Amino acid sequence: MSKKILVLGGAGYIGSHTYVELLESGYDPAIVDDFSNAEHKVIERLKALTQRDVRFYEGDCNDAAFMEKVIGTEGDVHAVIHFAAFKAVGESVEKPLKYYENNIGSLLVLLNKMTAHQIPHLVFSSSCTVYGEPDKLPVTESTPRKPAESPYGNTKQICEDIIADCVRSKAAIKAIALRYFNPMGAHPSGLIGELPIGAPNNLVPFVTQVAAGVREKLTVFGNDYPTPDGTCVRDYIHVVDLAKAHVKALEHLSHLNESNHYDIINIGTGEGNSVMEVIKTFEKVSGQPLNYVIGPKRDGDVETVYANADKAKQVIGWTSELTLEDGLRDAWRWQQSLKEEDSQ
């Protein structure tokens, strides 16, 4: 019988892609989502993509009674992957309590339930935001965490500490926090991808929306940073590669002999690309000229950050396989599929 995996926030961008990779790897995943930052049509798209019914529970992961019911219905749960966090940096500055309540609250409810029901494995969705503006590049797992630039970043730091303390208390939980860099792209089928509600917070969906005429122009925030072309540099990781990293992390935890364990692993390509490189590469793969303007720098923007991903290879046997071109091509295919859907 295949192992049951609860995917909290599984209707979201990274969660939905991870759901597909779990199925393809022989697991039995179920989605838990309140659809506050995802659309119900994702479930239909997952059905079309996997040719299987999707088990999902609609509700709030902060609701202990709801989570108790989900776990009781599922029965023997092998592992949980926690994606159920709000993630807009700007919004977190405006609404910090919303972020602390949801991002930390849902983890506390989950860890209590995992302990009570003896669910042994947890993969936690963390972020490279915990590093802030690093003193040295590339960033390794031992790079010191800087004070967070936003409440969102702070919730990721606090959640990492909560998991570490929980494991240190001899709770029978084996956990890995994956610190990922900048997810982008979409499933090559064009059936699932990034579906931001409102204005996108990430560069790539903004690029594709401008190219598709959904938005008038892209603003590049600053072009006088001390980088090769003056624009910010990030490590862009294809969402399918990122989804596969969660499966690898689960497999690694399952093979550990100890009853409790905690580790942190960077998930990135190990290379940095500037905002202008992303724009030029997109124009090349799509054949679409992009309407962009140079604007002022944004507060809190880190100028350059990219990963050292050696540990991911050594510990969980994962490396990125897809390129920036692949990601932008897939993101554009996804954007076009949305446009076709809207015109029907």
Catalytically active residues are 152
Q: Per the structure block, which two tokens stand in for 142?
A: 């031992």
Output phi, psi for 264, to 5 deg.
Answer: -125, 135
Query: Alpha-carbon distance 89 to 73, whole Å?
Result: 35
Torsion angle of alpha carbons 85, 271, 311, 122, nearest 10°? 10
Q: Residue 5 is encoded by which pair of tokens?
A: 């995996």
Q: How many angstroms separate the CA atoms of 6 and 23, rounded?
A: 12
Planar angle of CA 248, 150, 275, nearest 5 degrees: 70
Judge contact between 249 and 324, C-beta under 8 A: no
CA distance 208 to 195: 11
- Provide the pairing of β-strand 121-127 with 77-82: parallel
Across the chain, the runs of DSSP E, i.e. the strands, are: 4-8, 28-33, 56-58, 77-82, 121-127, 174-180, 182-184, 218-221, 233-234, 236-238, 261-267, 273-274, 292-295
For residues 96, 100, 102 and 107, what is the CA-based torsion angle, rounded to 10 degrees?
Answer: 160
**141 vs 179: CA distance, rounded Å:** 9
